Amino acid sequence: MVVTTSKMLPLGISAPDFSLPDTKGNIVSLDDFTEAPVLLVIFMCNHCPFVKHVLSVLVELIKEYQTKGVAIVGINSNDVVNFAEDSPEMMAKVAKKAGFTFPYLFDESQEVAKAYRATCTPDFFYLIKKACISRSDG
């Protein structure tokens, strides 16, 4: 049983927009993925024990799905004051060590997480043509 249950966006609505910095300081937005038939948005963070537990398998699955045209983006919306391990500097270290082949973005204000109703990590959202069509709890 989970401590925090996930919320769910209504299926078929337009995906909430985002424009966030990645671990290299580049701004990445939802519009950067318009060519992809499917976008998987993963709300994740460095300190979460559930993310840590699945990270290596998740990275391998992501690589497999990227070869099939699926775009993936990871978003960390944690408060770095309370979770220093989730700072952008630490995000860059984790991304490099784990071999991320997808952008890992920092949502400092937590506005994107709120827009997606992401309440726990990992939290997955599948988008087709910018519409939220499916949601899977981590």
Domain covering 19-137 assigned CATH 3.40.30.10 in the classification? yes
Q: Are the beta carbons of 61 and 94 closer than 8 angstroms?
A: no
pLDDT digits (tens, 9 = 90+) for 36-94: 999 999 999 999 999 999 999 999 999 999 999 999 999 999 888 889 999 999 999 99
In the chain, the percentage of residues whose pLDDT exceeds 90 is: 67
Nearest to 104 by CA among 72, 64, 60, 136: 72
Residue 1 has pLDDT above 70, yes or no: no
Rounded Cα–Cα distance for residues 136 and 88 (Å): 26
What are the helix (H) ranges across 99-135? 111-116
**pLDDT tens sequence across 90-114:** 999 999 999 999 999 999 999 999 9
> Which is more confidently placed, 85 or 1?
85
Helix (H) or strand (E) holding 56: helix 49-66
CA pair distance 54, 56, nearest whole angstrom = 6
Domain ranges of the chain: 19-137
Q: Please, are residues 134 and 11 in contact by the beta-carbon 8 Å criterion? A: yes
CA distances from 15 to 11, 24, 56, 115, 133 (A): 10, 25, 27, 9, 9
DSSP character at residue 33: G
Over 70: is that where the pLDDT of 129 sits? no
How many whole angstroms separate alpha carbon 121 and alpha carbon 42? 8
